Amino acid sequence: MAAGAAGGGAWGSAMSAQEFAAVTGAGFDPVGQVLGTAVFHLGYTGNWCAGAWSPGRGTDVSSSRWAPFADLVRAMYEARRRALGRAVAECRTLGADGVVGVRLRVGRFPSGGLEFTVLGTAVRARSAIRPARPFTSHLSGQDFARLLGGGWVPTGLAFGISVASRHDDFRTVRQTRWRAGNQEVDGYTELMTHARRDARAQLARDAAANGGDGVVVDEIDVRVGERECGQNSRDHIVEAVFVGTSVARFGRTATHTGPRPLTIMRLEREH
């Protein structure tokens, strides 16, 4: 589709009619559908028990240098960024300024591994001002137009990924016995909290690296699993993935460029 558009043929789009109307109304024209993909074999996931040799150590998060899943998370980032980078390369080929409506899909590859796919619509501004590099955004056409109307611009898709693990200790074993009654399991609460907090921190760093003042979150995916670790013991593992769009103000000012508020006039006669 990108090749056809670049050659002067009909352009493709992943937008609905409503999105098309909103984007063109905001001063942008779609120039083609763009696609980026990367197939990764994620074979190494850490082969030791989290905290098994350090009693009381608690939860390990992947952003720590020696965490069991640090290498896995680095590969998860790289896979997403390669797929996104290939979509951006198609965007540049089309002479576009950015990609809206980005959708990231992760699926099993039949021969093993995971396929990371990025799909979106490349758009070009009807303006002489061009961004230094193409932006990417998960926002729909309508939300993209609202963002611009409010004085903000998207700067790039941002990711926050964290894998946290916790080895069952005497506290979690005691609190999850069938006769323990109804109570909070402190270790599991800590595990979930650390995974989400670390993923949020990574998302903020990625947004800042894109030149954003903030980030609009699109997706929060949290998965919980466990694995056997030694005799009669387990590791509990939480994978938290945040996806969003980093945004910045026009010219780093707080000027509002959207519709002005209505002026209300009093109609009743004053006495």
- Summarised one tens digit per residue, pLDDT across range 177-207 is 777 778 888 888 888 999 999 999 999 999 9
Look at residue 63 and tell me if it is in a domain.
yes
* Euclidean distance between CA atoms 176 and 229, whole angstroms: 18
Q: Cα angle at 214 between 95 and 61, to 5 degrees?
A: 105
- pLDDT attached to residue 185: 82
Q: What is the mean pLDDT of residues 101-123?
A: 91
Q: Model pTM greater than 0.85?
A: no
Look at residue 108 and tell me if it is in a domain.
yes
**Gyration radius of the chain over CA positions:** 24
- pLDDT attached to residue 251: 60
Look at residue 192 and tell me if it is in a domain.
yes
- pLDDT attached to residue 48: 55
Percentage of residues of the chain with pLDDT beyond 90: 51
Per the structure, the count of domains in the chain is: 1
Looking at residue 188, which CATH number applies to its domain?
3.30.110.70
Torsional class of 17: left (φ above 0), alpha (ψ -120 to 50), beta (otherwise)? alpha
The boundaries of the domain holding residue 55 are 2-252
Look at residue 258 and tell me if it is in a domain.
no
Q: What is the mean pLDDT of residues 86-91?
A: 96
- What is the token pair recorded at 38? 């990367």
Name the burial class of residue 58, with classes exposed (0-12), middle (13-18) and buried (19+) by CB atoms within 10 angstroms of its CB.
middle
Reported residue count of the chain is 271
pLDDT tens digits, 29-69? 999 999 999 999 876 555 556 554 444 456 777 777 667 78
Look at residue 260 and tell me if it is in a domain.
no
Look at residue 136 and tell me if it is in a domain.
yes
- pLDDT attached to residue 187: 82
Look at residue 264 and tell me if it is in a domain.
no
Q: Averaging pLDDT over each range in 7-16, 56-65, 149-158, 254-263, which range is the top one?
A: 149-158
Q: Which among 176, 130, 183, 175 has a CA at the least distance from the CA of 153?
A: 130
- pLDDT attached to residue 228: 76
Look at residue 266 and tell me if it is in a domain.
no
